[in-house]
Amino acid sequence: MDPSAPAFPALLHYEVAHRILKGYMDYYYRFKLITKRARLRFEARDWHGTQADARSRIALYREEVSRTTGELNHLTTGTATGHAFWGRVREAFAEEIAHFNTRNIAETFFNSVYRFASGIGADPAVMFVLRTGSYREHQGLSAISYDYALTGRDLADVVEEVLDRFPFDAPWDDRARDVRLVAKRWAAHPTRGADRLEILTSVFYRNKSAYVVGRLLDGEEVHPFVLPVRHPDGRGILIDALLLEADQVVSIFSYHRSYFLADISVPSDMVDFLNTFMPSKQVSELYNAIGFEKHGKTVFYRELLRHLKRTRKEESERFVSAPGIAGMVMYVFTTPQLNMVFKVIRDHFAPPKQVTAETVRQKYELVKHHDRVGRMADSYLFEKLALPRERFSAECLEELQRTAPQKVTVAGDTVLLSHVYVEKKMTPLNLYLQTAEPPMAEKALRDYGRAIKQLAAANIFPGDLLLKNFGVTRVHRVVFYDYDEIELVTDCNFRHLPEPQTPEQEMASHPWYYVGPRDIFPEEFPGFLMRAGPYLTYLREQHGQIFDADFWNDVKRRLQAGEIMDVFPYRTDWRFLQ
């Protein structure tokens, strides 16, 4: 007899619920363990270790779901496990997590295990598709912040007390100097008159920086209070800036940046806190930002269902093709009011595209695990996503069925998409430049050049530098979102164009020299980016290095030497020490 089999088959559903709960607890323990050692990495300047931890934490969820599912398959061998059985499992699981301070995260883990085991899409009869309470359904018993009354206080003393709460095991560069700099900037800001300061007990770590995060309460107004902290080579720990404006902080928590490593006991409390000074952020985005991207996906799905329900009577709120030049690899659709786009890989790609659907999936997986440095859009991958047929325009549904019939099934009143990526909506850069006033167009071009350089610093060569593959966000930031041809900079061979030696070579319509599969000639970029004119001239003036193989080879050498380059998520002129 199998010793792992339950002694009472009638309680098999409870045993299955227990195994799922055990899998979740193992996942959450390992998640916490990774985040707890982020401080140690920061103190030791172990930046490669920090990045490796960030990648392993993303993979952790899938690993635990897969392992748990394997255990369940073994446990239930020879037993009928239909809807009724899984309904009892859900009830038993819900009873066990009723008072968890991470109940919502545990529900998402249950959903993932069920989907992995059953191979079906969202099933409201068995899964926690609709929330069982508010996302902040559990308020933690312990405080998540240190609180400071500010009336009549010397700001430097307050800053000293804040820093005392975070005793890094490494020397400071000049703590007294940093306190003076923070207090001086704070005193000159309108938030100087705030009544109260609340600082989160968790430090947020990402790449080579740590962030002390809090909020200022000024009557009914709430403002962020963020101290970016660095530990540069050859120096001690130092405060790099003081950020007091919402638009300064929103980018730090953006969907186009990597997730933070932060030791969080009650995620919903944390999300609630962050949302008070970043109200423009969706709850799903904030869960992503603090590392719970799978639950962020669950919350987004619920946001999508609410949107569809709220707009069901609006004839204009149908799925339509997204604006811009249609891509050869992806068909993209959206709705006018929804701030997201849906991207389906076409079944066949027109020449000259030579990638495969599997290659595209691998590129998206690379981006998910890579440092996005604020320049690559994060995405949710949905498998077997069901959407109401009535919400599709005729043109959109016809295009889906024509271009991706292997991934689209229309059954009754439902359109089932077997594989779809969902991303934030942006204005394609080529369309933006057509209508933008010259100062804003130049600003976008400057940021486009910065985006390419920052991607290079993160070891990403976009492949297609075409303007249509970059988008302009709501806050006018340029972000890359077309990943089918990205490569690691260290895998590319950047070359100068050879000088022709004969008239025949000079007049040849095709390259007369050998071109390897990974050879790239940056001097050719301007020819396909845009027509000659003032915008191309301006781009050359601002970022001419990106058209020079020497620039790319210098970056490549630094990356191969193991350097992790600094890319700051806030403006350089906000930094105290340049």
507, part of any domain: yes
Where does a domain end: 306, 324, 349?
306
Q: Angle at Cα 454 formed by Cα 451 and Cα 456, nearest 5°?
A: 110
The candidate with the shortest Cα–Cα distance to 379, out of 340, 412, 415, 426, is 340
% of the chain residues with pLDDT over 90 = 76
Query: What is the per-residue pLDDT for 390?
Result: 94
- The string of pLDDT tens digits covering residues 208-223 is 999 999 999 998 899 9
pTM: 0.91
- Statement to judge: residues 183 and 296 lie in one domain: yes
The candidate with the shortest Cα–Cα distance to 216, out of 244, 180, 248, is 244
129, part of any domain: no
The candidate with the shortest Cα–Cα distance to 402, out of 321, 324, 481, is 321
- The string of pLDDT tens digits covering residues 355-382 is 889 999 999 999 999 999 999 999 999 9
Q: CB neighbours (10 Å) of residue 107?
A: 23
- The string of pLDDT tens digits covering residues 409-418 is 999 999 999 9
Where does a domain end: 306, 325, 349?
306
- Statement to judge: residues 156 and 296 lie in one domain: yes
Q: Is the pLDDT of residue 99 over 90?
A: no
- Statement to judge: residues 465 and 385 lie in one domain: no
Tokens of 346: 């076409």
- Statement to judge: residues 285 and 171 lie in one domain: yes
Q: Tell me the pLDDT of the chain averaged across its residues.
A: 91
164, part of any domain: yes
Question: From CA 83, how far away is CA 416, in angstroms rounded?
Answer: 21
Assign 344 to helix, strand or coil. Answer: strand
Tokens of 418: 């077997």
- The string of pLDDT tens digits covering residues 455-466 is 999 999 998 889
Q: Is the pLDDT of residue 512 over 80?
A: no
Mean pLDDT across 441-462:
96
CB-count burial class (<10 Å; 0-12, 13-18, 19+) for 517? exposed
280, part of any domain: yes
- Statement to judge: residues 298 and 315 lie in one domain: no
Where does a domain end: 377, 403, 426?
426
- Statement to judge: residues 160 and 284 lie in one domain: yes
Confidence of residue 126 (pLDDT cuts 50, 70, 90): confident
Number of domains in the chain: 4
- Statement to judge: residues 289 and 348 lie in one domain: no
CB 95 within 8 A of CB 14: no
Q: What is the 3-state secondary structure (H, E, C) of 281-315?
A: CCHHHHHHHCCCHHHHHHHHHHHHHHHHHHCCCCC
Query: What is the per-residue pLDDT for 500?
Result: 82
Residue, of 275 and 504, whose pLDDT is higher: 275
- Look up residue 51 and give its amino acid: Q
- Statement to judge: residues 280 and 354 lie in one domain: no
- Statement to judge: residues 445 and 569 lie in one domain: yes
Name the active-site residue from 378, 447, 482, 484: 378
The candidate with the shortest Cα–Cα distance to 217, out of 195, 241, 187, is 195
Q: CB neighbours (10 Å) of residue 515?
A: 12
- The string of pLDDT tens digits covering residues 528-574 is 888 778 999 999 999 999 999 999 999 999 999 999 999 999 999 99
349, part of any domain: yes
Edge-to-edge strands, sheet with 408-411: 385-388, 414-417, 408-411
Q: Is the pLDDT of residue 515 over 50?
A: yes
Mean pLDDT across 314-323:
93
Question: From CA 569, how far away is CA 295, in angstroms rounded?
Answer: 25
The candidate with the shortest Cα–Cα distance to 465, out of 486, 434, 447, 446, is 486
Q: Is the pLDDT of residue 5 over 70?
A: no
Buried b / exposed e over 391-411, threshold 16 CB at 10 Å, is bbeeebbebbeebbeebbeee
- Statement to judge: residues 550 and 470 lie in one domain: yes
Mean pLDDT across 169-192:
96
Point out the least confidently predicted range of 123-137, 318-332, 388-402. Answer: 123-137
Assign 553 to helix, strand or coil. Answer: helix
204, part of any domain: yes
Q: Is the pLDDT of residue 140 over 90?
A: no
- CB neighbours of 217 closer than 8 A, spacing ≥ 6? 194, 195, 196, 197, 198
- The string of pLDDT tens digits covering residues 236-281 is 999 999 999 998 899 899 989 999 999 988 899 999 999 999 998 9
Q: Is the pLDDT of residue 136 over 60?
A: no
Mean pLDDT across 303-326:
92
Boundaries of domain holding 501? 428-574
73, part of any domain: yes
130, part of any domain: no
Query: What is the per-residue pLDDT for 469?
Result: 93
Mean pLDDT across 437-444:
96
Query: What is the per-residue pLDDT for 137?
Result: 46
Query: What is the per-residue pLDDT for 530?
Result: 82
Buried b / exposed e over 57-77, threshold 16 CB at 10 Å, is bbebbeebbeebbebbeebbe
Query: What is the per-residue pLDDT for 1?
Result: 43
- Statement to judge: residues 27 and 75 lie in one domain: yes
Tokens of 521: 């000639």
Is 178 among the catalytic positions?
A: no
Confidence of residue 119 (pLDDT cuts 50, 70, 90): low
CB-count burial class (<10 Å; 0-12, 13-18, 19+) for 561? exposed
- Statement to judge: residues 528 and 497 lie in one domain: yes
Q: Where are the alpha helices (DSSP H) in 354-500?
A: 357-369, 394-403, 429-435, 438-457
